[in-house]
Amino acid sequence: MHLNLLRDEHRAYSRGSLVRCARFLGVAAATLACVTGASAQAGAQGGEWRGYGGDAGHTRYAALDQIDATNVAQLKVAWRWNARNFGYNPNISSSTTPLMVNGVLYATAGVRRAVVAIDAGTGETLWTWAMDEGERLRTAPRANPGRGVAYWEDEAGRGRILVVTPGYHLAALDALTGRPVDGFGDAGVVDLMKGHRARDGVSLVGTIGASSPPTVVGNMVVVGSAHHVGLRPPSMTNTPGDVRGFDAETGELAWTFKTIPEAGEPGNESWEEDSWTYTGNAAVWAPISSDAETGYVYLPTEAATGDYYGGHRPGNNLFSTSLVCLDGRTGEVIWHFQTIHHDIWDWDNPTAPILADLTIDGRPTKIVAQITKQGFVFVFDRITGDPIWPIEERAVPASDVPGERAAPTQPFPTKPAPFDRQGFSEDDLLDFTPKIRARAAAVAADYRMGPLYTPPSLAAAADGTKGTLSLPYSTGGANWEGGALDPETGMLYIGSQTNTMVLAMVEGGDRSDMRYILGGGRAQVAPGVPIVKPPWGRITAIDLTTGDHSWMIANGDTPPNVATRLGLDPADIPRTGKASRAGILATKTLLFAGEGMSGDPIFRAHDKRTGEIIAAIPLPNAQVGLPMTYMHEGRQYVVISVGGGGEPAELVALALPRS
């Protein structure tokens, strides 16, 4: 059942017609121009924001400069759009990032992931659409507002909004009216569970869904998936995360890429003891990037079932935790690189790969950069898959968890250097004072420590330890917020957090047929105070033309409760940042960053060259989505989703005061 509300249908059609006419005549081209299939590295084009990452290469860059260092402090709220009446759940924030096409924003809202069309200048709701998915919504592994939608135009310039629902349907909506498109799937909807691989005894309903928007490349719509969080999976048997391509015109299935290969397929031998027959996950839950010039798509895959114990899936487990380049027209594998062999840390690839055309060592180079949870940026020639800088296989610690066989080596990029701390030792202990360091050391004494890729250990190990202190955390380092790349300078900006996680394995028992699952444990010197030295949140700038770091700053001021809980004078604590991941946007003039879901409601403008804070703009609530920017009727807007603290999500539009 589809639910659709159209606000002033005639007006919506008229606006779209006028915009297309103006575009055709070249009127206000800087604001209205539409560049379909623009090169992946160009950033958002024509003052619009047509893709989740701004462009198909997810640079999160727009060459707009009306807002600059001289006036950014004057930004005010231009309008607010509230999602309170779209199935509000105080425990779920909205990470949506709107698109802006032809003067209209398109976003997702509420637990049913309604699609909303919003006037770009006023915040007025133009139309809404939602789907009643019944049991499929109630049991969906990703029942949340999602991260947004995708946009596709046919040869006549008619636009479609594409969304993957929580219950795993792919819907195509008329961009002007919000009505499902006749001729696409069944009355505008493709049931993504039909034809999907399943495991014996495991229902697709309740085990597969999605939270990221689909990806458009040419006339193909590429769809990934997401599963339940794999800390304590109820079974070693789960639904595999296949990636599929659908015809953008008809919704017809064109191809399927199996992230867990079957017998006779390349990579199958890396799933030993027939583990390929029952293991699941290895999905692509993060956004997928594409290159319009070649038609290639770039898949950042996740770990296989389960996140921290791989004893039931011996081998390297290709194509889990990998970067995979496919021909978007056929699904054929062009090249691949596994960033973690036999992942048992939940350090799956969480970000959309970033595409750029840069000059490196004097040569024009087409690159793809994969940001990871463990603090690496893997950089490749996006056509051939060759590393831009050498990647070395280095020996890593072995596991002593019964049945586990960790990979003996892991890949380490020689450039760029890690953007966050890796591995944990006594040198990482919080040390504001000798007394606090002693307290941190006493907490750490209960756990194992070691370099990056030290494996999880038993919660009751023979040596008396209660698990492994792992750094970065299993949610990063970096995560779905990713980064932004300035294609004019080659500078990559990444938000990350620095915090430890306790990896303590316990027997599955009555909870799971897996031999071991993740137990509990927290390593803090006081409630809410990490055991590790700050900064606890950071923004790092890396020059991808050289692989060298340019600067790093703390993301956020020191939380006010830190001094109280440690019994210190606030003046004795440096600026620590928050244990939160910044959402970043780059423009021609500035770098914008919010503090992220666990931060304060502050939106900062930074000098791109130095990281210096130029302005701090208050927000109604904390940043929960990624910022985007566009021009509308001669005015530059920055829009960001905010929420949390028991309040419903809002889209907040910032702009300079009208003169």
pLDDT of residue 1: 53
pLDDT of residue 41: 57
Q: pTM, whole model, 2 decimals?
A: 0.94
Question: Which of 513, 507, 504 lies closest to 455, judged by CA?
Answer: 504
Q: For 208-224, what is the mean pLDDT?
A: 97
Task: Please report where in the chains the tokens 């639904």 appear, as a residue.
Answer: 239
pLDDT of residue 27: 31
The answer to whether the beta carbons of residues 226 and 209 sit under 8 Å apart is: yes
Q: Which amino acid is at 466?
A: K
Which tens digit of pLDDT belongs to each residue from 146-176?
Answer: 999 999 999 999 999 999 999 999 999 999 9
CA–CA separation, 367 vs 383, rounded Å?
8
Which tens digit of pLDDT belongs to each residue from 30-65?
Answer: 333 333 333 445 799 999 999 999 999 999 999 999
pLDDT of residue 89: 76
* pLDDT surpassing 70 at residue 471: yes
Which tens digit of pLDDT belongs to each residue from 322-378?
Answer: 999 999 999 999 999 999 999 999 999 999 999 999 999 999 999 999 999 999 999
Which tens digit of pLDDT belongs to each residue from 519-565?
Answer: 988 899 999 999 999 999 999 999 999 999 999 999 999 999 999 99
E strands within 459-556? 468-470, 483-486, 491-497, 501-507, 516-518, 524-526, 529-530, 537-543, 548-554
Q: H-helix or E-strand containing 561?
A: helix 560-566
Average model confidence (pLDDT) across the chain:
93
CA–CA separation, 223 vs 299, rounded Å?
10
The answer to whether the beta carbons of residues 318 and 333 sit under 8 Å apart is: no
* pLDDT surpassing 70 at residue 257: yes
- Omega into 306 within 30° of 0, i.e. cis? yes
| Gap between the terminal Cα atoms of the chain | 47
For the chain, state the CA radius of gyration.
24
